[in-house]
Structure 1
Amino acid sequence: MTLLARRSLLLLPAAAVLARTVPAAAQSPAEKALAESGPLPENSFGSASAPVTVIEYASLTCHRCRDFHLQTWPAVKQKYVDTGKVQFVFREFPLNALDAGGFMLARCAGEKRWHAVVDMLYRTDDAWAHAPDPLEGLRGLMRQFGMGAEQVNACLSDQAMLDGVNAVARRGSIAGVTGTPTFFVNGRKASGMMTVDEFSKLIDPHLASR
């Protein structure tokens, strides 16, 4: 993935468990990158003391990411996160300017609204990601979160925010992410859209050993 260069996104055309288990001095560059949260606050669900930590790197224009978020994530949350078995961490891995812009808007909406904005963007991708004017589509969609056109424009022009999103993705690349969605289950990498049953096969062995 080529990280976005410095530019205004207003020019958009029509990206912890290891830190607990591996001593810092013994970590490889990939393990260290995965263990570091980056310059932006983590977006996580579940208890930090859960026996399993899942880190997902996702993009907003990725249909497999959308399908996981809409079809699999609710059941994973109910089965594992809400029961204290898994802490689930979402991290940005923009593949293009639209991805970065959507993630920036989710951040600008506030930490408590991040997931709601991401959920909305996945459910309405035809209204922005595949629209003739994606920027206008994003402006319209963000009104429901109290962000007017000027606030959207200001957010998408925030170089520090763009740098932060890119830094999260850069760490993902070092950790071994080459596409989305990519998951790390207690540090072990798995890629692609998965059903609940497929996801359970990754998580349950870690729980059985407890």
Structure 2
Amino acid sequence: MKKFFILIIIFLSTISKITADEIKRISVGNVDAKITIIAFESLTCSHCADFHKDVYPQLKKEYLDTGLAKIEFRHFPLDIAAFNASKVSQCKNDGDSSILNSLFSNQQKWVKGNSVEEANKNLQKFLVNEGFNVDFEKCIKNEEIEDFVLNDRIDGVKKYKVNATPTIIINNEKFEKSLNYKNLKKALEKLI
């Protein structure tokens, strides 16, 4: 399964990229902010879920809601369950972070299963229970969204040398310190 996933990534790296006009990036904050934060994450990564639980609320309150910064969420799926969840989070193509945030906040409710089919059933059940109105099959079979998600991963590796999740990029510089709010705030304050 992992070999298949790697082959897909290699294949897609050779075809042209989908433009941002075609699929909207999931982002929060002032579009014209001086500070751009990029978060490369996998929806099945527990450290990414911790970031959304422990760091993101303060970041949103102090920097995103005040217009000082914006954050762009980039997909870096580490397995097929994360890959399908990324496609679903992107499926409405509205740039809204609601599904993404819910998937991270409730990760333990849907990240389970011994097969892709079982994981998909759990993901689909979770989305229905949370009231998200998405055509699950259409979302996970959408080739444009699939390419978009995989291209995020390819760009992360090529441009930023992403090798783990979460990886935070601030104004095109990789954040190398331990990812907690105190360290992130120090880095952001230097840019204001």
Band of TM-score, shorter chain? 0.7 to 0.9
Q: Partner of 2:39: helix, strand, or coil?
A: strand
Give aligned-pair identity as a percent: 23
Root-mean-square deviation over aligned CA pairs: 2.5
TM-score scaled by length of structure 1: 0.74
Q: Is the Cα–Cα contact under 8 Å of residues 181 and 192 in structure 1 kept in the other structure?
A: no
Quick check: 1:160 aligned with 2:144? yes
- Equivalent of 2:179 in 187, 190, 194: 194
Task: Give the length in aligned residue pairs.
Answer: 175
Q: For residues 82-101 of structure 1, what are the structure 2 equivalents within 5 Å?
A: 82-101=65-84
Q: For residues 43-192 of structure 1, what are the structure 2 equivalents within 5 Å?
A: 43-111=26-94, 114-132=96-114, 133-143=118-128, 144-147=131-134, 151-175=135-159, 176-191=161-176
**Which has the larger Rg?**
1
| Cα 1:154–1:193 shift into 2, 3 Å | farther
Q: Unpaired runs of 5+ in structure 2?
A: 9-18
Q: Partner of 1:206: helix, strand, or coil?
A: coil
| Cα 1:182–1:69 shift into 2, 3 Å | same
Q: Deviations over 1:184-203 (max 9, x none)?
A: 11121025762221111111
Q: Unpaired runs of 5+ in structure 1?
A: 7-35
What is the distance in 2 between the residues matched to 1:146 and 1:198? 37
Q: Deviations over 1:129-161 (max 9, x none)?
A: 1245211111112221123xxx21222122232
Q: Is the Cα–Cα contact under 8 Å of residues 4 and 96 in structure 1 kept in the other structure?
A: no
TM-score scaled by length of structure 2: 0.80
